[in-house]
Amino acid sequence: MNAKPDTMQFHRGHESDEHLTMKVGVIRGLRRVGYDIILGEHHCSDALAIKLGGEWPSTVAVEIERSPRNLLRNIKRDFAHGAEAILIVCPDAATLAAVARKIARHVSDPSCIAFATPLTLRLLQPLSISEHNHSEKQEKPS
């Protein structure tokens, strides 16, 4: 994969192309919604997003989960390393449902854990001026 954002230790070496593509999308999405610093592979989470100031948690660990297999270990590790919240990104709704069921069964207070798919993250990103102008031009009849 050629498009790597400016992160530390971006690629661990055993991640699939799908995992890396999702990681790039998540990192770009977090930057676009206002996180100030994004570190890749921070203490083994896929990424760590840091927001300076504001009301929201300042450190959010990001886990790309393609199955619930290592989920509980990852969550425990992320909170032990100081994450205030965890964003779990799954490739599709079926995987997200399996991950959410496991969290509901095994985590006593899931209030600091959020779930998303890549589509969710894209839908939450603000349009840039050029994207907005382009969509307006397409809507106007000739």
What residues does each domain of the chain span? 35-122
What DSSP assignment string belongs to 47-87?
EEEE--SSSS-SEEEEEE-SSSTTHHHHHHHHHHTT-SEEE
Cβ pair 38, 7 in contact under 8 A: yes
CA distance 70 to 101: 14
Which stretches in the chain have pLDDT values below 50?
A: 1-11, 132, 134-135
Who contacts 35 (Cβ-Cβ below 8 Å, separation ≥6)? Answer: 49, 50, 51, 60
Q: What is the pTM of this model?
A: 0.75
Question: In terms of DSSP H, where are the helices of the chain?
Answer: 17-32, 71-80, 93-106, 118-124, 129-139
